[in-house]
Structure 1
Amino acid sequence: MAARVISVGIAVMDRIFAIDAIPTEPTKVFARSCTEIGGGPAATGAATASHLGGEVELWARVGDDPIGRRIVEELKEWGVVPQVRHVPGGRSGVSSIAVANDGERLIFAFADPALDTDTAWLPMERLASADCVLVDLRWPKASERVLHEAQRKGIPSVLDADLTTDDIARTLVPLAGYAIFSLPALRRFTGQTSPGDGLTAAQRACKGRVGVTLGAEGFLWLDAGRLEHEPGFAVSAIDTLGAGDVFHGAFALAIAEGRDMRQAGRFANAAAALKCTRFGGRAGIPTREETEALLQTSRTTA
């Protein structure tokens, strides 16, 4: 029976442009290609967990508009069961993303502040059958409610602790079973430059486990106060868009399947590395077979 993951947070539509280089001054740039596909941390995490073999729901809000309807349909194409509210009068989130030849990106994102934050409609009774919940920082009221309930029911929870424009992480990190930071977010949260010092500081705020993604260098976490490192996989990256979201989705699925922190980190490292070898954000999510095949190769960073 497939492990069951419930993901909670934001779902948007991405328009991704392939360009030669990120411009350094105002100009007109002609793209080599353009792709439209769903995005957002929670939504891409859900698509990842589903594509890797999980049974997955996404709890999210979108606008009552054509973009919102396309977001929901595209989630279904990934095998995700959408528990999504179309907010009357609201506009769905969109991002325009330029991806350069070296894999670096420039993102313009719009999130409608008029999308209400009401959580009363969430099907909280469905949490009881979840093996893990994954939440992002983009719908704080929902994430906080779900983390509280997961904690009460003893359900493992993973927080995608990425950068935001506010300090909501200070409310959510203490509630998470696994608070997994990006390095910039960890530095902002703790004021520490070193990942190790940052994790030590973050652990004081979190009753659960803390870890940080390091891109090509892999995954670092604390185990009973001891720093542990799971190396990354050397790949030829062409597009890093969504790699962190893929990591969190794969990590949550691995936890749902009963893997320990090291096993979950290695599985997520492999999925994120493969995603970086393919253009198109969520379009680069690997299959379970591809991920397992990479796991059989030697690790190339120490």
Structure 2
Amino acid sequence: MKRKIVCVGNLVLDEVFQVASLPASGIKTGVLAYEKRYGGPAATAAVAICRLGGTASYWGRVADDPAGEAGIAALRQHGVDCGGVAVLPEGRTLRAIVMVDARGERSIVSDRHGLSLDGSVLPEDRLDEAGAVLVDSRWPAGALIALDRARAAGVVTVLDADGGTTADNQALIDRADHVVFSSEGLRDHAGEGSPEELLRQCAGDASRVVAVTRGSSGSLWLIDGEIVAVPAFRVDVADTTGCGDTFHGAYALGLSEGRDPIAAARFASAAAAVKAQRGRGWDGMGDRAAIEAMLASGAVHPV
């Protein structure tokens, strides 16, 4: 039986607008379709893990409001253990506006200030039986506590590094075993330069695995001083929303199942590709058979 992966971070109510093209400044754009659905880095990663046959627990916080209640219900419907969710009496459940164009590309405006950032609301559950702990950088106080507890328990840790202040991110990086940046997150943290140079700049401890995801350009991994490129799979893209979060969840699951980082990255790349191909929020997650079929296809972009 696979051990549970604990996912620590944000749950977000997404308002998704389908548009013909992403608007430039000062332009009015008509909406082709609209829906509400749930996202958030750690919550989406937990759903991906469960969809792939793993076991996931989500540790986060929501407000005592209809959005928070419905978000917890949606997670449970997808098989996620929500025993570690704190329901806060003040504030409002986090929200985001997502615009998705005809090519599946998206722009996101996130409200990350609706809830207290206090990390003391994390549950006291033991972590020594966890297969991995995955944290996102959008709730740094909770992530810091979870990473410290995981290290004390000898549990492997994965950081989804995308957003947050430089100081908060550095504190998280210093505590994580595996750090996976988005392209934007890497630039925000390390500045301008080639991805290879920036990864080396961020690595610090030589034993730490540091990587950056780059959409259809695949991902780059710094492992034991060497840069390794992992290609992305070629698919017709419906919606890229949540693909990075799916990648992180599948990567943590791959590690917990004994895959080495590059094998786990290929597994995660296939999971993200299936998600991009299907769209549909959490309902578009691929199962294990879909990911294995994607891996077997060998249809990757050149690196």
C-alpha displacement at 1:253, in angstroms? 0.7
* 1:35 aligned partner: 35
| Letter in structure 2 aligned against 1:226 | E
Cα pair distance change 1:31/1:136, threshold 3 Å: same
**1:221-252, CA deviations, whole angstroms, 9 ceiling, x for partnerless residues?**
11210111111111111211111111001101
* 2:188 aligned partner: 188
* 2:98 aligned partner: 97
| Letter in structure 2 aligned against 1:80 | V
* 1:175 aligned partner: 175
* Matches of 2:50 and 2:140, distance apart in 1: 23
* 2:58 aligned partner: 58
Asked if structure 2 preserves the Cα contact closer than 8 Å seen for 1:176 and 1:207, the reply is no
* 1:290 aligned partner: 290
| Letter in structure 2 aligned against 1:55 | T
Asked if structure 2 preserves the Cα contact closer than 8 Å seen for 1:182 and 1:214, the reply is yes
**1:32-69, CA deviations, whole angstroms, 9 ceiling, x for partnerless residues?**
22222111101111111111111110000111111110
TM-score, L = length of structure 2: 0.94
| Letter in structure 2 aligned against 1:94 | R
> What number of residue pairs does the alignment pair up?
301
Matched, 1:240 2:240: yes
C-alpha displacement at 1:17, in angstroms? 1.5
Cα pair distance change 1:191/1:112, threshold 3 Å: closer
Matched, 1:106 2:107: yes
1:128 is paired with a residue whose SS is coil
* 1:69 aligned partner: 69
Cα pair distance change 1:75/1:206, threshold 3 Å: farther
| Letter in structure 2 aligned against 1:234 | R
Long gaps (5+) in structure 1: none
Matched, 1:47 2:47: yes
Runs of 4+ in 1 over 4 A off after TM superposition: none
Long gaps (5+) in structure 2: none
TM-score, L = length of structure 1: 0.94
Cα pair distance change 1:169/1:25, threshold 3 Å: closer
Comparing 81-90 with 262-271, greater Cα deviation is found at 81-90
* Matches of 2:299 and 2:226, distance apart in 1: 21
* 1:252 aligned partner: 252
Asked if structure 2 preserves the Cα contact closer than 8 Å seen for 1:173 and 1:205, the reply is no
Matched, 1:148 2:148: yes
| Letter in structure 2 aligned against 1:257 | E
2:15 is paired with a residue whose SS is strand
* Matches of 2:214 and 2:153, distance apart in 1: 31
| Letter in structure 1 aligned against 2:248 | H
* 2:159 aligned partner: 159
C-alpha displacement at 1:28, in angstroms? 4.4
| Letter in structure 2 aligned against 1:24 | A
* Matches of 2:85 and 2:16, distance apart in 1: 24
Asked if structure 2 preserves the Cα contact closer than 8 Å seen for 1:137 and 1:164, the reply is yes
Cα pair distance change 1:59/1:20, threshold 3 Å: same
* 1:202 aligned partner: 202
C-alpha displacement at 1:24, in angstroms? 2.1
Comparing 155-164 with 206-215, greater Cα deviation is found at 206-215
* Matches of 2:68 and 2:213, distance apart in 1: 30
Asked if structure 1 preserves the Cα contact closer than 8 Å seen for 2:208 and 2:223, the reply is no
